[in-house]
């Protein structure tokens, strides 16, 4: 098999392809929360909410939702590239913060430093991953992976199963950025050369990488939750609490493997 991949997929296609699976995942989360709260009411006690009027709710919710719709909508309809849409989102967020009196020079300085640190980290990882991929291919690593997949038997689906399993296990110790820049460029061309749909494959990988936010011990979401949770909530409790949500994400990947149309029919409907 000669690995010559000319398939390209835009960010807009991936966004559209992820809409239906994302909605399905949201409904799975909602169903679990409702069932759990019904069976065990003590785990979801009623919240005490101060009385407010509809105008305050609309004022608080509508501008952020409008900004999100503007950024994603401009990408989906092809009016802006992801970079341009990100610039619009950044300017819109600054305008919203300024309109609410939450923007000051110290806040802007902190935002700029955080952005610089994150961007520098991503670019350093990207440079290292690009060098690694070049050396890996230069020594025939892609041919070795191709031969390994051929030796497995079972065609592209068996190869995809192995790749998904490896990515899932790597999510326990690595974040999604490192997996995306290091692993995907190595196995992606091989899988695409086997005839897998690029949009479906991208959505499958994205959902798999989403589990890395929850899988202990280095899940980002667990760190965020640990930072805001009271001391009475132990880390082991959080580890047990995320297991059902990890299982639902794995279930969604199984659903996509059975019904790939969940990720492909909407891009085909919109762009074709």
Cα separations in angstroms, 261 against 8, 17, 28, 58, 201? 19, 9, 18, 36, 12
- Rounded distance, CA 242 to CA 215, Å? 8
Q: Which is more confidently placed, 25 or 154?
A: 25
| Closest to 203 in 3D by CA, of 155, 267, 146 | 267
Peptide bond into 217 cis (omega under 30): yes
Reply yes or no on whether the pLDDT at 192 is more than 50: yes
Q: Say what the pLDDT of residue 264 is.
A: 81
Eight-state DSSP code of residue 48:
-
Residues 70-80: tens digit of each pLDDT: 888 887 777 77
Reply yes or no on whether the pLDDT at 83 is more than 50: yes
Residues in the chain: 272
Q: Say what the pLDDT of residue 262 is.
A: 85
pLDDT (mean) for 120-133: 82
pLDDT (mean) for 20-44: 90
Q: Model pTM?
A: 0.76
Reply yes or no on whether the pLDDT at 232 is more than 50: yes
Residues 197-211: tens digit of each pLDDT: 888 988 999 999 888
Q: Say what the pLDDT of residue 253 is.
A: 92
Confidence class for position 2, pLDDT limits 50, 70, 90: very low
- Rounded distance, CA 212 to CA 201, Å? 17
- Rounded distance, CA 8 to CA 163, Å? 20
In this structure, how many other beta carbons lie within 10 angstroms of the beta carbon of residue 128?
13
Q: Would you say 20 and 262 are in contact if contact means Cβ atoms under 8 Å apart?
A: yes
- Rounded distance, CA 109 to CA 111, Å? 5
Percent of the residues in the chain that have a pLDDT greater than 70, as a whole number = 94
Reply yes or no on whether the pLDDT at 7 is more than 60: no
Both tokens of 55, joined, read 């105008």
Q: Say what the pLDDT of residue 251 is.
A: 93
Confidence class for position 145, pLDDT limits 50, 70, 90: confident
| Secondary structure of 67-133 in HEC code, one letter for each residue | HHHHHHHHHHCCCCCHHHHHHHHHHHHHHHHHHCCCCCHHHHHHHHHHHHHHHHHHHHHHHHHHHHH
116 φ/ψ angles, rounded to the nearest 5 degrees: -65, -45
Both tokens of 88, joined, read 């619009």
Reply yes or no on whether the pLDDT at 81 is more than 90: no
Q: Would you say 187 and 147 are in contact if contact means Cβ atoms under 8 Å apart?
A: no
């Amino acid at each position: 098999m000669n690995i010559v991949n000319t398939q390209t997929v835009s960010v807009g296609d991936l966004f559209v392809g992820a809409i239906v699976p994302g909605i399905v995942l949201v409904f799975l989360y909602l169903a679990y929360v409702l069932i759990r709260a019904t069976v065990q009411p003590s785990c979801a006690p009623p919240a005490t909410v101060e009385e407010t009027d509809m105008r305050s709710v609309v004022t608080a919710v509508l501008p952020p939702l409008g900004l999100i719709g503007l950024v994603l909508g401009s990408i989906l309809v092809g009016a802006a590239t992801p970079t341009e849409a990100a610039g619009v989102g950044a300017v819109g967020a600054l305008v919203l913060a300024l309109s609410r009196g939450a923007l000051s020079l110290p806040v802007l300085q902190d935002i700029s430093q955080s952005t610089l640190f994150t961007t520098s980290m991503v670019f350093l990882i990207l440079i290292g991953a690009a060098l690694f991929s070049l050396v890996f291919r230069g020594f025939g690593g892609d041919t070795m992976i191709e031969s390994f997949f051929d030796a497995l038997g079972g065609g592209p689906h068996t190869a995809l199963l192995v790749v998904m399993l490896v990515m899932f296990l790597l999510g326990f110790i690595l974040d999604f950025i490192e997996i995306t820049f290091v692993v995907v460029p190595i196995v992606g061309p091989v899988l695409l050369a086997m005839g897998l749909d690029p949009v479906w494959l991208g959505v499958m990988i994205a959902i798999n990488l989403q589990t890395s936010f929850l899988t202990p011990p280095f899940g980002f979401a667990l760190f965020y939750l640990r930072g805001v949770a009271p001391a009475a909530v132990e880390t082991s409790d959080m580890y047990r609490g995320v297991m059902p949500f990890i299982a639902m994400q794995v279930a969604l990947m199984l659903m996509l493997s059975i019904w790939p149309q969940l990720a492909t029919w909407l891009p085909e409907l919109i762009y074709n």
